[in-house]
Amino acid sequence: MQTNELPENNFNNNDDIVEAKISPIFAALIGLIGGFFLYQIVGGILTLIIFDMDLENAPINSLRLMTIGGQILFILLPSLVFAQYSYYNISKIFRFRIPSIKEIGLFILGLFILSPFLQSYLYLQNYLIEFLANNFSIVKSIKELLDYLNSLVEKTYSNLLSASNILEFLFVILVVAVVPAISEEIMFRGLIQRSFEQKLRPIIAISVTAIFFSLYHFNPYGVVPLTILGFYFGYAAIYSKSLIIPILLHFLNNFSAISLYHIIGSDELLRADVKATTDDLIIYLIIVIILGTLLFFLLSYIKKFYSSLNHNF
């Protein structure tokens, strides 16, 4: 494992260019298609077969074990194996440089700003969707479909997040926060984003990966928030040149969702039935503007921080 000493290079230097056995873009696309097929299709079919097509009555801990197994077998391991097949030096793909305390602190501060920003954005988004649905029949029809899909997402997460004792709560953390943070970051910010980085501008590589990361989660109302969240994880990965920070951020985000669920009974980032009155609208808009401005200045500071250490792109 690498130390927290920052390499003195820029994005186009040898530390960032990885010698590939196949086209990096092809590697990224195969990683995306393969991950989707294995986890969503194969994993989904196996789950239905194992539980005899009756997921509603399946033992919740058995479903949690299936979730862990699916993440490891169909996301983590295929990413590692395919990276070995696609690149000569996978340590340059999966960079695990140990970051400094200041680096970790800066990105965690950004996550603390980003989380309420996204929640406030959801209020504005849902207010707008509700308004359009009340005035346009086609939007109302689309909203009804999204509501149905979202109810399935909420039900699934509600079952996974529920816990009746401390041991079950710790198990939930393992299932929802620890394993996904490691598996998904190795796949998305590791194999996929790093492959895109070889041929695309950094901002494009981050953005494309973030969009796929969002769509991968099948959350109809969470597409924009999850894209922004994925962009932040990608930003952290590409500037810190380490997967440790996005893994930590991913864990903290999911852990916060679990905690929020057990404190107030709902996962605000994933819920779509958040209602906002007209009077609330201005308040949420001000919050979004203020937090968005703070986040912009923090990201600018992070960029200057790494530039000062000859660690830019």
CB neighbour class for 267 (10 Å; exposed up to 12, middle 13-18, buried from 19) = buried
pLDDT band at 2 (very low <50, low <70, confident <90, very high): very low
Packing angle between helix 278-308 and helix 101-135, nearest 10 degrees?
Answer: 150
For the record, the structure tokens of 109 come out as 């501060």
Helix/strand/coil percentages in the chain, nearest 5: 75, 0, 20
pLDDT > 70: percent of the chain: 89
254 neighbors 101 (Cβ within 8 angstroms): no
Average pLDDT, the chain: 88
pLDDT at 310: 60
Q: How do residues 100-125 score in pLDDT, each as one tens digit?
A: 999 999 999 999 999 999 999 988 99
